[in-house]
Amino acid sequence: MKNWSVWIDGRQVGVEGISDDLPLSGKLRAIIDRDLPLDRIVEEIRLDGEVVCKDGEYVHDIDGKEGTSLELVTVPLEDVLRESVRTLVSHLSQVARLFSEIGRSLRKGKINEVFGGEGAYKDRGGAYVQGIESMVAAQVLVGQIRGACREEGARESLVLIGDESRFEELLGSMLVAQEARDWILLADLIEYELVPVFEKGLSSAEQYYQSVFAGAA
């Protein structure tokens, strides 16, 4: 990386040993692997003063860009993990509440409110689609938290679902009930099996937050 300058939180780091043959994204990865402290995570990357990466997502395709100065801004991994768990707790509460509403609507025969066309979620594909999307978002959050736990090494991991294969079976049963248009069975699966999974997960996330971050600012 001849003629380059690289800074991490205002501290200049050497570029010796970073191959010029690598694309810029490869150079960045090599710098992060070599120089980033284990208890920090990259929040923002600037190329010649322009933000090219924010919160782990590239704003631009940087491999086609030219430049001579890279600046990495980091935050404590502990802070990211804490905020992720706090967000997950709020999210799981919302998911459990939404699916409880879906179950009640199915029992009342309000099918159009559940699957689109009517109700508060009609512009987002219906309450059921919104519920599934929220469930996926929760899974993404859990993945991010587990990744952060691995980065910290000794950090205990967060476990929300004890038997993930049973959870997959439950989702499969829900799909069968939906395809058969058996709305009472679908309501039973949601209210008596799916919602308790999320409520148990919420309890686990709250306990995890208290055990790991109790007393933290």
Same domain assignment for residues 149 and 193? yes
Same domain assignment for residues 53 and 146? no
Tally of CA atoms within 13 A in the half-sphere of 70 that contains its CB: 25
Q: Identify the domain boundary among 76, 108, 139.
A: 76
Same domain assignment for residues 94 and 18? no
Q: Identify the domain boundary among 26, 51, 76.
A: 76
Note the pLDDT tens digit of each residue in 199-208: 998 998 898 8
Q: Digits of tens for pLDDT over the chain (217 positions)?
A: 677 899 999 999 988 888 888 888 888 889 998 998 888 888 899 999 999 888 777 777 788 777 889 999 998 888 888 888 888 898 899 999 999 999 999 999 999 889 876 666 766 678 888 888 888 888 888 877 777 666 655 456 677 776 678 888 999 999 999 999 999 999 999 999 999 999 998 998 898 888 877 655 4
Same domain assignment for residues 118 and 69? no
Strand partners for 6: 13, 70
Tally of CA atoms within 13 A in the half-sphere of 167 that contains its CB: 13
Note the pLDDT tens digit of each residue in 154-183: 456 677 776 678 888 999 999 999 999 999
Same domain assignment for residues 102 and 165? yes
Q: Identify the domain boundary among 32, 54, 76.
A: 76
| Structural domain that includes position 133 | 79-214
How far apart, in whole angstroms, are the C-alpha atoms of residue 82 and residue 86?
Answer: 6
Number of independent structural domains in the chain? 2
Same domain assignment for residues 143 and 46? no
